[in-house]
Amino acid sequence: MKSLFSKTKDGNCSICMHGRPANDGIKILCKKKGVVDASFCCRSYKYDPLKRVPSHAPILPEFDKSDFEL
C-alpha cells in the first residue's frame, strides 16, 4: 500500500505534533526543543495532519442550462 505522506523530513515545526504557535505568531513552542523558528525541523518531528493549512480550492467554471442538454 502506498503511503499518502513521504517518510522524509520535509516538514517544519509549524505542522509538528510537538509544537504549537507562540503568542507572537512567528515562533513555535516545541515540547522537545523549546522556542524555535517555524521553519525549524528536528529529529523528533512528527507530522500532525490537523495542523496543516490546505491550499485554496480551485475556482470552478460557471455552467448554464445549455451545458447539461443532450
pTM of the model: 0.61
**3-39 pLDDT per residue, tens:** 565 555 567 888 889 999 999 988 999 999 999 998 8
What's the grid cell of residue 55?
A: 491550499
- Bridging pattern class, strands 34-37 and 19-21: unpaired
Q: Is residue 42 part of a domain?
A: yes
Q: Is residue 51 part of a domain?
A: no
Q: Is residue 24 part of a domain?
A: yes
Q: Is residue 25 part of a domain?
A: yes
Q: Is residue 22 part of a domain?
A: yes
Q: Average of pLDDT values for 36-60?
A: 87
What is the CA angle 47-20-24, rounded to 5? 140
- Which structural domain range is residue 27 located in? 7-46
The CA distance from 5 to 11, in Å, is 11
Q: How many domains does the chain have?
A: 1
What confidence tier does 44 reach under pLDDT thresholds 50, 70, 90?
Answer: confident
